[in-house]
């Protein structure tokens, strides 16, 4: 896999692409991790607001890459070790690490017109992976998937098909 960063043909030029990786490096207290993740999900719900605001497509593509890998575009990056198949619907997946459970509101992807967890403007990942609000690359030497995604070609990310419905 190439480690070159190129500009891409979407709205994310090199600088904005870099900023998606480098901003919001807040530390998250490790006290009561599960409670913290649930509190974070509550904040995500709040970020949705009254108008069903959604994140932008490049951010969602990064989140999809972090959670699902790139097999859908013929790549070799596997899914996150915490990606869990729903017992309610075997076509749905949820994060098995964040403690939010297996239900429609926590499925990472939904039907095209429905709101899914990866659509929240503000969303926290337990591994602080790229695309999430608490992204932190300080452990990318140990986290191989994170390292690969940080060096992923932006043009390839744009090939990931994601659905972000228009705001009402």
| Interface with ligand SF4 (CB under 6 A) | 66-67, 80, 82-83, 95, 97-98, 125-127, 129
Q: Which residues contact 60 (CB under 8 A, 6 or more apart)?
A: 54, 118, 119, 131, 162, 164
Element (H, E) at 93: strand 93-95
Report how far apart, in Å, the C-alpha atoms of 101 and of each of 37, 39, 83, 117, 127 are. Answer: 11, 14, 12, 12, 17
> Which lies closer to ligand SF4 via its Cβ, residue 17 or residue 132?
132
> Which lies closer to ligand SF4 via its Cβ, residue 8 or residue 67?
67
CB of 158 to ligand SF4, least distance (A): 20
CB of 135 to ligand SF4, least distance (A): 10
> Which lies closer to ligand SF4 via its Cβ, residue 17 or residue 68?
68
Residue with tokens 């719900």: 45
CB of 69 to ligand SF4, least distance (A): 10
Beta-bridge mates of residue 95: 83
CB of 102 to ligand SF4, least distance (A): 13
């Amino acid at each position: 896999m190439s480690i070159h960063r190129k500009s891409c043909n979407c709205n994310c030029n090199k600088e904005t692409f870099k900023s998606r990786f480098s901003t919001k490096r807040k530390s998250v207290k490790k006290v009561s991790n599960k409670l913290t993740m649930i509190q974070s999900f509550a904040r995500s719900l709040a970020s949705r607001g009254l108008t069903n605001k959604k994140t932008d497509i490049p951010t969602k593509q990064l989140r999809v890459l972090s959670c699902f890998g790139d097999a859908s575009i013929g790549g070799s990056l596997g899914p996150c070790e915490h990606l869990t198949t729903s017992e309610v619907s075997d076509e749905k997946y949820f994060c098995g690490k964040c403690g939010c459970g297996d239900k429609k509101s926590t499925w990472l992807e939904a039907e095209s017109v429905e709101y899914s967890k990866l659509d929240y403007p503000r969303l926290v990942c337990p591994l602080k992976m790229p695309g999430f609000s608490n992204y932190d690359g300080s452990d990318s030497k140990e986290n191989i998937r994170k390292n690969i995604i940080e060096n992923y070609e932006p043009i390839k990310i744009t090939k990931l098909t994601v659905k972000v419905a228009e705001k009402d």
